[in-house]
Amino acid sequence: MTSLASPIITSRRPGWVVETLPFDTVPKMFWQRVDELGSAIMMRQKDLGLWRAYSWADVGLIVSEIGAGLVSLGFAPGQVASVLANTCREWVWADLAVQSMGGVCNGIYPTDAASQVEYLCVDSSSVFLFVEDDEQLDKYLENRDRLPLVQRVIVFDMEGLHKLDDPAVISLDALRALGRTYLKLQPQLVQQRLGTRGPADVAVLVYTSGTTGRPKGAMITHSNICSSLAAGSSSLFEGLPMGGERVAFLPLCHIAERMVGEYVSILRKSTINFVENPETVFENLREVQPVVFFAVPRVWEKVYSTVAITIREAGKLQQLAYAWAVGEGAALVKLTEAGQAPGALQRLRYWLARKLVINNVRRMVGLDRVQLALTGAAPISPALIRWYQAIGVPLREGWGMTETTGGGTITPIGAGKPGSIGVPGPGVEMRISEQGEILMRGGSVFSGYLNLPEKTAEAIDADGWLHTGDVGRVDADGYFYITDRMKDIIITAGGKNVTPSEWENQLKFSPYVTDAVVIGDKRAYLSCLVMIDEDNVAQWAQHRDVQFSDFKSLCRAPEVVNLIGEQIDKVNKEFARVEQIKQFRLIEQRLTAEDEELTPTMKLKRSLVNRKYAELIEGMYSAKAA
């Protein structure tokens, strides 16, 4: 039998080095920037249609007041405080305040149910809980008798709560007032508390949103975060200047936005722009026109589908111009992938394409100024990456996990291989095990799972290798490729091993599909459950006079079923017969991050989908058999 194992692979990219940082904890990094940048703008939040700016000095004052307020209420070094809120300025203030006082900050998704909030507060031993508003406060109040460790709940937005008289609940403004008073008595508090924690101490808890089982609390140390930051400066930015605007909207509970949105922004002296709410992301993106934009594949797919639908509804001349311009870009991308330089005439044609068409497309979606575009946290279609590169958006794929503090691999600038997750970053060792699993070792590998020593031992072996659970391969140039999650590989009744994610990602390139789950383990053939893109499919149906009254009737319309069938047929042509989908059904329930089928990062939970839609799945096989 041929071995799947590889030798140890490390960074081979010239100039990729582990930077020496002048700090060893997250709060020390923040306070160094406050001293250095002072009146420069650190962040903006859009409220009621207006952007409000905060300087580094402003945020420093706010953080010190929040931190001192916590200490005045008994917060001790090493204790845990949780944050239950959408991504906003207050989230970051709370995180930096907790860590500045020597504490550990734990994030809770605002979409989590009350029972999940209870579990996460108990498991993390949280003594303080920050909540966004009355809706999130209700989740605590429902479980307060089972949360004896929580000493006080701090509310960001008190609208609707002004008449609340509860000694356990305090507003953020009131906490800051306590802090101001305490700082008059203890003016050296921040400096004293900064000295209570070191690199080996836990900085944050990040609970995995995994698709199976209860969340596990990953203990991320200051050293883990600093290692990831030290490696990322040269590999992520490769000479790009410090500063610039960025948009923060993904959950800060997730390691990706926590690192790229918050900590990398502090390291790189960037300005963080918090969107008004989750529904205004694309509008705010067009307003800000960021220099750095990180998003999960679902967002990149949504931006592409917006352009695709707009072009389909445009006039014939606009369609021809768009096809020509993107064609010129695609030809350039193809040459770059082959390591060839374009000729003078081809460069001129692409310059014209950008001037006449492509720049307008980028401005329309808010990506006209972007210099660093990143995707990660889930697989993405190689065709989608090529489309973005064709319109001049330098989209690069990276790979990391909660357990690697977001670090791992990154695609080098100008040397991408769509379909690959890139090469190991500086200071990272990677290899393929005998079983085909991707293993990683380095300073960003987490210290373990909270309260779960057995799970920690399963994840990190005696030699320090993290077993990622991803099946993959590495090519001769050191580029890694993820085939699938080990637990997701399908073995058909005929004994054929099928990796479903590649087929699923190809289908998600369609503007009419949001997500898909391939079924077929121990089955005679493959089938698929599809979640449609409601906005795009509804628009398609309206323009063709397809009758529907709600989401369910839209999914059941024969014309819509045929539309998705056509998308599936297109993808099937790219795969071998045994990997093709023979039957499919549409999920007739409108799903959001609050539904149990989806993780907070909007990935379908494969095992739960299999259970919840078992009857629908069986129907696909009985229908074929009949």
HEC per residue, 485-500: EHHHCEECCCCCEECH
Task: Say which residue, 56 or 605, is predicted with more confidence.
Answer: 56
The stretch 366-379 carries a mean pLDDT of 89
Alpha carbons 179 and 414: distance in angstroms, whole number: 49
What are the structural domains, with CATH classification, of the chain? 27-47+58-272 (3.40.50.12780), 489-625 (3.30.300.30)
Task: Say which residue, 574 or 465, is predicted with more confidence.
Answer: 465
The stretch 401-406 carries a mean pLDDT of 94
Largest CA distance in the chain: 80
With a cut of 80, say whether residue 283 has pLDDT above it: yes
The stretch 475-492 carries a mean pLDDT of 82
Query: Please, which residues bridge with residue 598 across strands?
Result: 604
Alpha carbons 560 and 565: distance in angstroms, whole number: 8
Q: How confident is the prediction for the chain on average, in pLDDT? A: 91
Residue with tokens 């709940």: 153
CA angle 32, 34, 38 (to 5 degrees): 135
CA angle 576, 485, 512 (to 5 degrees): 60
Alpha carbons 395 and 412: distance in angstroms, whole number: 11
User: What is the reported pTM?
Assistant: 0.85
Residue with tokens 């809770």: 108
Band of pLDDT at residue 1, cut at 50, 70 and 90: very low
Over the stretch 149-159, which tens digit does the pLDDT of each residue have? 999 999 999 99
166: Cα within 13 Å, side-chain hemisphere? 20
With a cut of 60, say whether residue 3 has pLDDT above it: no
Alpha carbons 265 and 245: distance in angstroms, whole number: 9
Alpha carbons 474 and 7: distance in angstroms, whole number: 10
DSSP string covering 315-328, please? Answer: -HHHHHHHHHHHHH
One-letter amino acid at 552 equals: K
What share of the chain has pLDDT > 70, as a percent? 95
Alpha carbons 246 and 382: distance in angstroms, whole number: 25
With a cut of 70, say whether residue 546 has pLDDT above it: yes
Band of pLDDT at residue 593, cut at 50, 70 and 90: low
Nearest to 617 by CA among 572, 595, 579, 587: 587
DSSP state of 343: P
Q: 73, 152 in Cβ contact below 8 A?
A: yes
Decide the pairing of beta strands 448-449 and 423-424: unpaired
Over the stretch 294-353, which tens digit does the pLDDT of each residue have? 998 888 988 998 999 999 889 999 999 999 999 999 999 999 888 888 899 999 999 999
Alpha carbons 143 and 203: distance in angstroms, whole number: 26
Q: What is residue 613's predicted lDDT score, i.e. its pLDDT?
A: 86
Calculate the alpha carbon distances from 469 to 89, 403, 437, 482 in Å. Answer: 34, 11, 6, 10
Q: What is residue 213's predicted lDDT score, i.e. its pLDDT?
A: 62
Where on the phi/psi map is residue 48: left (φ > 0), alpha (ψ -120 to 50), or beta? left
Q: What is residue 602's predicted lDDT score, i.e. its pLDDT?
A: 62
For the ranges 413-417, 474-478, 544-548, which has the lowest average pLDDT?
413-417
With a cut of 80, say whether residue 489 has pLDDT above it: no
Joined tokens for residue 572: 């099937």
Residue 163 burial (CB count, 10 A): 5
Alpha carbons 307 and 292: distance in angstroms, whole number: 20
Q: What is residue 606's predicted lDDT score, i.e. its pLDDT?
A: 73
Over the stretch 429-449, which tens digit does the pLDDT of each residue have? 999 999 889 999 999 999 999
